[in-house]
């Protein structure tokens, strides 16, 4: 099967619930009259800050991870691990010392509002953003052949890789990307490493946004054949927050506000009823206290 975008997103869904390919339906789809996705006034925000990229293969190098539970597949379908015929363009430039990279973050939702933004609140509904890296103002080459970055300029958003070890020494991102989703368990995050020289994707991974956990995490990248790459990881920091949904449709917002008004009116009626009971209890308490005072004031009869 071709490892196209649909197949790549399938990998993320297959990892849910123990990797058995079982995906639960939203509870709103299990009612007699399914209504999903529902308008959400509060969105979940997953903030991703890439930190380091480790051991990306050189051009033309194949380094499949064959120790996984699906390693037997490579004995029968070797194409999952190795490209049969590398492109001529890549073969001629495989020995280049400097490799310019960028990392993009994308969101694909089954339903509900979603976007990727560099700021909060989001200013647009873009679903893809490119991670930028720190580079020095000169943008000069160091002695070992790697590019020393600059703060701005045409190469902003790129990192360099040592030709010898495949380690991204100068990959120091300066951006945090905010992944905003109304239905995080129905939204797939796709992280892609792009070779800027050829505008070609060289590694990626997909994960369900709602399944991510906070803290420092490593993303084990896959080759474009769908196979995990041996020792190739993207170190990121994950944090959670929430954001008010400013993109809810006008009619949906009116309906939601109307429902909230009905709830408020119902609660106010309950409060009024409780207040009436409190007034009755207060009146009864005052009556009993009055009787008690009258009894204490009666003259006592001597025997």
- Of 135 and 140, the one with more pLDDT: 135
Do 54 and 18 share a structural domain? yes
Residues in the chain: 303
- pLDDT for residue 188 is more than 60: yes
How many structural domains compose the chain? 2
In a domain, 302, yes or no: no
Q: Are 206 and 188 in contact (CB under 8 A)?
A: yes
* pLDDT tens string 146-175: 333 332 333 444 555 554 445 566 566 778
Do 277 and 167 share a structural domain? no
Indicate if the alpha-carbon torsion angle 17, 114, 241, 175 is positive or negative: positive
- pLDDT for residue 75 is more than 90: no
Helix-, strand-, coil-residue percentages of the chain, each rounded to 5: 25, 30, 45
CATH number at residue 141: 2.60.40.150
Q: Domain residues for 95? A: 5-248
Do 146 and 95 share a structural domain? yes
* pLDDT tens string 205-220: 999 999 999 999 999 9
Indicate if the alpha-carbon torsion angle 50, 53, 58, 61 is positive or negative: negative
**In DSSP terms, which residues pair with 54 in a beta bridge?**
233
Do 259 and 139 share a structural domain? no
**In DSSP terms, which residues pair with 206 in a beta bridge?**
190
In a domain, 300, yes or no: no
Structure confidence at residue 145 as a pLDDT band (50, 70, 90): very low
Do 42 and 82 share a structural domain? yes
Do 271 and 221 share a structural domain? no
Do 263 and 135 share a structural domain? no
Structure confidence at residue 32 as a pLDDT band (50, 70, 90): confident
Highest mean pLDDT among 38-42, 162-166, 227-231, 246-250: 227-231
What pLDDT was estimated at residue 240? 97
In degrees, rounded to 5, the angle at the alpha carbon of residue 18 between the alpha carbons of residues 114 and 38 is 30
Query: Residue 6 corresponds to which tokens in the numbers above?
Result: 């649909």
Query: Position of tokens 């490579």?
Result: 74
Do 256 and 241 share a structural domain? no
- Of 157 and 200, the one with more pLDDT: 200
Do 271 and 130 share a structural domain? no
Do 183 and 61 share a structural domain? yes
Do 87 and 29 share a structural domain? yes
Do 277 and 166 share a structural domain? no
């Amino acid at each position: 099967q071709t490892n196209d975008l649909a197949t790549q997103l399938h990998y993320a869904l297959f990892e849910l619930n123990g990797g058995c390919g079982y995906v639960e339906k939203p509870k709103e789809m299990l009612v007699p009259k399914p209504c999903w996705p529902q308008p959400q006034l509060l969105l979940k925000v997953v903030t991703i800050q890439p930190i380091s990229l480790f051991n990306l293969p050189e051009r033309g190098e194949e380094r499949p991870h064959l120790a996984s539970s699906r390693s037997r597949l490579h004995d029968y379908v070797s194409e999952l691990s190795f490209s049969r015929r590398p492109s001529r363009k890549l073969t001629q430039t495989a020995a280049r010392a400097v490799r310019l990279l960028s990392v993009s973050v994308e969101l694909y939702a089954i339903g509900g509002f979603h976007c990727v933004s560099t700021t909060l609140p989001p200013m647009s509904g873009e679903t893809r953003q490119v991670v930028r890296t720190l580079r020095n103002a000169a943008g000069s080459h160091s002695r070992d052949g790697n590019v020393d970055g600059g703060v701005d300029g045409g190469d902003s958003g790129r990192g360099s890789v040592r030709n010898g070890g495949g380690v991204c020494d100068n990959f120091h991102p300066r951006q945090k990307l905010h992944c905003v989703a109304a239905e995080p368990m129905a939204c797939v995050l796709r992280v892609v490493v792009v070779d800027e020289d050829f505008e070609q994707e060289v590694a990626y991974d997909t994960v369900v946004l709602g399944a991510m956990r906070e803290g420092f995490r490593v993303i084990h990248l896959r080759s474009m054949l769908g196979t995990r790459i041996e020792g190739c990881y993207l170190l990121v920091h994950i944090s959670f927050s929430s954001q008010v949904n400013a993109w809810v449709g006008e009619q949906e917002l009116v309906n939601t506000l109307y429902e909230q008004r009905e709830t408020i009116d119902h609660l106010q009626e309950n409060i009024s009823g409780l207040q009436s009971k409190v007034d009755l209890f207060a009146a009864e308490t005052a009556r009993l206290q009055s009787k008690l005072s009258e009894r204490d004031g009666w003259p006592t009869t001597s025997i």
